[in-house]
Chains A and B, each alone.
Chain A
């Protein structure tokens, strides 16, 4: 569909132009939104395209953050390399995680992912010499890029780096999803038994999607560490797993863009509500319930429905000369 590509380009253009017009804090928030959006999108590969509901996606985020933080604090690796290396490390660990978790299906799979995330939390808490224990790693520097590319140490430079990571990951995911690999994932989502009988080793595909999903989640975490300057056990707390799952669902699972919007919605709503009232969590909960009842297809579903209807109306109007 051409309109969606045009829309996509327009959005990216706006995001690229953002630092020129937005005030300082809006840029800070936008950078965090980009990172969180990447985190949510990474989960969508598992949840939306393969129906592997993970209750432990913080493991990816936390691993990426700690790995990158550790690298930046203890080695002299330039920022982009530290971030990418952290993402690769997370993906590698995730192969093992995926291998164990895919022994089960359904809710048991979800619980195994939770178990891993909790174990990681416990390790991060206790392995004080490496992770800083309950205090975590603080003062993580936003180091320069290779060849002295100091632009990354600036706010705007870092924003573009994060944006590039998000757009790059999105394009990667879109390719993946449109490829034969993606078709198998959808097969697993719709009917795993049938896909098995067609001769596909579904378990291998599942492990692969877990690894990729965690690697991208780790990329998000690795971006967060130098952004916020710290990595601590709160990044591995299970509540965040639930929240990112909500972001995916609210945004619209199985759409890649939806979860990004879901993350933005979640963060902005929480930030605004909490500055209006102490009881913000109450309204937050009501919003979720409202979404499920009245907007089940999520934000992206609402937006596409709106666009499509307008488009169809415009087409009709043009043809009939109105």
Chain B
């Protein structure tokens, strides 16, 4: 493989990885930005998305349908959880949210095991993206191109949502000053429920998209939650752009780092996080000092 081909394919690999990390991180950062909740259940919801996606693909035969429906179902679940349980806890300190989302993670993880069994399940990629293209002579899976593209599309869509729509305006305003928004007569509770639901839905979307690459598996929940935290912290808690940058940074560091220094593969993410936090304690685009 020539050096150019190598860098090209590895960069596209990194972009596809970044897309998955971005879906994971953006939901978490939105939830934190608005509600100051560190959502420990985020990984479990990602996993739930993958398993629901598996079932939907089996029943309908369509990956695309699963891609749309699974996030919606999980978003509804998240919103329900927020309405029934999280609502009661806003007056309390952060400990409460920590424990409650930790509890939710345990419940969801075990529920998935009970419903779908302990084995990993196959989710095949959509027929449209099951093949390869040749980048400078090297085969490259079209599914990863799709992932990179989906990530870019989603990033733009969320950006537009935040900048151009009324909901986006409310979200941004609530994250800066919830009381003011309330004083203006807006139902802040509704904004919070919507954001929590959207955040959970985005996590599930990430899970469905990841499933053709890694299968729907039970270890997913525990392994991705750390990744999510790291990306969001590096980018800055509550910053949408930050989660995008964090995802790209981590993906590129891991792809090229694992290639040249495989011995440090386990540590890369944390070294980067450490470096960023020491230099900028709030994260790259964060507000906390």
Contacts and interface: CB of A to CB of B under 8 A. Distances in A.
- In the complex they form, whether A and B have CB atoms below 8 Å apart is answered with yes
Interface of A: 53, 100, 103-108, 111-112, 114-116, 118-119, 121-123, 125-126, 238-239, 242, 245-246, 249-250, 253, 279, 281-282, 284-289, 291-293, 296
Contacts of B281: 103-105, 108
A282 B111 CA distance: 7
Contact of B271 (A119, A281, A291): A119
A282 B88 CA distance: 22
Interface string B85-107: 10011001011101110111111
Contact of B110 (A285, A291, A292): A285
Nearest to A118: B270
A107 B102 contact: no
Nearest to A109: B281
A286 B277 CA distance: 34
A118 B89 CA distance: 30
A116 B288 CA distance: 20
Contacts of A111: 229-230, 233, 273, 277
Contact of A112 (B105, B113, B274, B286): B274
A289 B84 CA distance: 12
Contacts of B282: 104, 108
Contact of A119 (B40, B100, B230, B274): B274
Interface centre among A105, A279, A282 (most CB of B within 10 A): A282
Contacts of B267: 118-119, 122-123
Interface string B108-127: 01110110000000000000
Contacts of B94: 53
Given A292-B96, A293-B85, A285 B222 contact: no
Nearest to B233: A111
Given A115-B273, A126-B266, A288-B99, A105 B289 contact: yes
A285 B278 contact: no
Interface string B215-251: 0000000100010011001000100000000000000
A246 B95 CA distance: 9
B38 interface: yes
Interface centre among B102, B104, B111, B226 (most CB of A within 10 A): B102
A126 B104 contact: no
B104 A292 contact: no
B288 A242 contact: no
Given A107-B38, A122-B267, A238-B226, A288 B237 contact: no
Nearest to B111: A282
A106 B236 CA distance: 12
A292 B89 contact: yes
A37 B92 CA distance: 26
A122 to B, nearest CB: 4
Contacts of A53: 94-95, 98
B99 A281 contact: no
A114 B263 contact: no
Nearest to B263: A126
B283 interface: yes
- The 8 residue pairs across chains A and B that have the minimum distance between CB atoms: A285-B106, A104-B281, A288-B103, A285-B107, A282-B110, A289-B103, A285-B103, A281-B110
Given A100-B278, A111-B229, A239-B222, A285 B105 contact: yes
A240 B113 CA distance: 21
A250 B107 contact: no
A293 B226 contact: no
A238 B226 CA distance: 9
Nearest to B225: A238
A54 to B, nearest CB: 12
B85 to A, nearest CB: 7
